[in-house]
Amino acid sequence: MTLTIAITSDFICPWCLVAETRLNQAIVQLNSAVEIEYLWFPFELNPQMPAAGMDRKAYRTGKFGSWEYSQGLDAKTVQATQADGINFRYDLMSVTPNTLKAHRLTWFAGNQGKATEMAVRILNAYFTEGRNIGDVETLATLAAEIGIDAAQVKAFLESEAGILEVKDLEQQALAQGVYGVPAIRIGREIISGAQSVEVFLAALQQAVNELASA
């Protein structure tokens, strides 16, 4: 049996990394030999962000009214996810990126069967290493780390390739009723937000039961 899990996320959403981490923990606990197939759908929280991104302090100050309030939000994320084993490093971030290139790279990697590896690597590069995931050189380096040719990635990202495909996937997610991230469809259920491992496990078990009885 194969269970398809559709993940809609954006790479600047910390809760997307948290949800993916908790989902994996739930899959480990799932008492089933079912095969898991992932589908990744892009979502841009800041579609109007300049291609080069923006200075993070300036952007977050403008968005939230003060840098101190922004830092408080970051601290709350860290506090709420202490049990998840994620080493958030907001102190290393200098740029709030435009994520279109990162989504295009995930689509490109998906053509080589590596969408999940690529997406997880990008999420961790941003949130635990403070890397600029809107930068072509950075993305090419990350791709090379999972076995994708860096020169091919650079040529791809410096072209217009993949843009229409990513935009189409974004529209597909909207058509499925996804208006925020993370949103994870497991079987017939869509789980919004970074829910607990127990919530993900229950949804996985229900989906497996439905597959078995089909």
Residue stretches of the chain with pLDDT short of 50 = none
Sign of CA dihedral 45, 47, 52, 54: negative
d(CA 95, CA 56): 5
pLDDT of residue 62: 96
pLDDT of residue 69: 97
pLDDT of residue 155: 98
pLDDT of residue 157: 98
pLDDT of residue 12: 97
Q: Are 114 and 147 in contact (CB under 8 A)?
A: yes
pLDDT of residue 127: 98
User: In sequence order, what DSSP letters do the residues of 145-184 get, joined into one string?
Assistant: HTT--HHHHHHHHTSSTTHHHHHHHHHHHHHTT--SS-EE
Q: Are 189 and 207 in contact (CB under 8 A)?
A: yes
- Whole-model pTM: value is 0.96
What's the one-letter identity of residue 133? I
pLDDT of residue 196: 97
User: In sequence order, what DSSP letters do the residues of 31-64 get, joined into one string?
Assistant: ----EEEEEEEE--S-TTS-TT-EEHHHHHHHHH
Pair of tokens at residue 165: 């495909």
Residues in the chain: 214
- Longest Cα–Cα distance in the chain: 54
pLDDT of residue 67: 97
Pair of tokens at residue 169: 């996937």
pLDDT of residue 31: 84
Helix and strand numbers (H, E) in the chain are: 9, 6
